[in-house]
Structures are given as C-alpha cells and as structure tokens.
C-alpha cells in the first residue's frame, strides 16, 4: 500500500492524488468564491493541477533528463513537459486578461464582489 513503485498503491498513484486534490480545490474556489480576484486564483490553482498532472506523467522512474550522454539508457519523456510550457504561457495570458478585466470592472462598478455586481446589474436590467 505504501510502495512508491507499485502503480496500484496509494503512494504509487501519489502524483494523481495531488493533481486531483489541487484540481478540486481550485474548481471549488472558482464556484464558491464571490470575490472576482479569488475566482481568478482558484482558476489558476485548477490550471496548475493540470500542469502537475502533465509534468508527472512524463517522469519515468530512474529516468534521466533527455540529454544524450554515454552510460545513460533511461530517459524521461520530455514531450509532456514541453507541452505544458505552452499551457503555462496560455495560463499566464488568461490570468493577465482576467485581472485586467477585474480592474476595469472595479472602475465601472466600484466593487469586485460578484453578488454586489449582480444586484447592480439586476437594477439596470429594468432600464435596458
């Protein structure tokens, strides 16, 4: 049950447990928090969980970095790591855009609490 190398044991699946716990924590934050900044933070945690999942997926036990060198026969798979570099860039762009929107929302509504914004929007609904 506590064997690192046994793929069916609790510890052998540790990377998946970490990814799932992080993912759900982030997802819950996105849904449950009313503060827009906290929502963005939740979204980030959710995305980072996927990064962790990808990065750990490429790791081969005992494998080395993918650099050709004499005497090394086992390499980790670099492709998921490279993919996730792209996903990180996308994540940074998303966060930047989300925060920019929050700044603009704060300017126009005077608040970043979703329930307060909804009250203001609901009042405007009757006008237009």
Partner 1 sequence: MSGAEMTSDPWLILLVIVPLLAAPVCVLLRSATGAWSVATAVAWSVFAISLKLLDTVMDQGVVRYRIGGWDAPWGIEYRLDSVGVFVVLIVSAIAAVILPYAKRSVEKEIRKDRIYLFYAMLLLCLTGLLGITVTGDAFNLFVFLEISSLSSYVLISLGTDRRALTAAFRYLIMGTLGATFYIIGVGLLYQTTGTLNIADLKTIMPAVIDTRTVHAALAFLTVGISLKLALFPLHMWLPNAYTFAPGAVTAFLASTATKVSAYILLRIIFTLFGDVDLFASFPLQPILITMALAAMFLASLSAIWQENVKRMMAYSSIAQIGYIVLGIAMATETGLTGGIIHMFNHALIKGSAFMAIGAVVFSTGAVTLTQMEGIGKRMPYTMAAFVIAGLGLIGVPLTPGFISKWQLVTAAMELNMWPLAALILLSSLLAVIYVWRVFEVAYLRPAPEGAPAAQEVPLSMLLPIWVMVLAALYFGSNATFTLNLAHTAALQLMGGL
Q: Which residues bind partner 1 (CB under 8 A)?
A: 27, 30, 36, 39, 43, 46-47, 50, 53-54, 57, 79-80, 83, 86-87, 90, 93-94, 97-98, 101-102, 104-105, 108-109, 117, 121, 124, 128
Tokens of 58: 């490429």
**C-beta of 51 vs 71, nearer to partner 1:** 51
Shortest reach from residue 71's CB to partner 1, in Å? 26
Q: Which is nearer to partner 1, 2 or 31 (CB)?
A: 31
Whether the Cβ atoms of residue 27 and residue 4 lie closer than 8 Å to each other: no
Extract the tokens encoding 4: 């690192």
- In the complex with partner 1, the residue whose CB is nearer, 71 or 128, is 128
Give least dist CB 18 to partner 1, A: 14
Question: Measured from the CB atom, is 6 or 121 closer to partner 1?
Answer: 121
Alpha-carbon distance of 124 to 19, in angstroms, equals 42
In terms of C-beta density within 10 A (0-12 exposed, 13-18 middle, 19 or more buried), how is residue 42 classed?
Answer: buried
From residue 119, alpha-carbon distances to 42, 77, 124, 125 in Å are 23, 51, 9, 10
């Amino acid at each position: 049950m506590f064997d690192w190398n046994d793929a069916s044991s609790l510890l052998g699946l540790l990377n998946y447990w970490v990814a799932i716990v992080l993912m759900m924590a982030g997802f819950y934050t996105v849904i449950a928090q009313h503060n827009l900044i906290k929502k963005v933070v939740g979204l980030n945690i959710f995305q980072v969980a996927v990064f962790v999942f990808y990065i750990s997926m490429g790791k081969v036990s005992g494998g080395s970095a993918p650099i050709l060198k004499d005497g090394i026969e086992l390499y980790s798979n670099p492709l998921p790591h490279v993919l996730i570099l792209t996903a990180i860039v996308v994540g940074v762009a998303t966060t930047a855009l989300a925060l920019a929107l929050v700044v603009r929302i704060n300017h126009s509504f005077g608040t970043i609490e979703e329930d307060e914004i909804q009250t203001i929007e609901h009042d405007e609904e009757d006008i237009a």
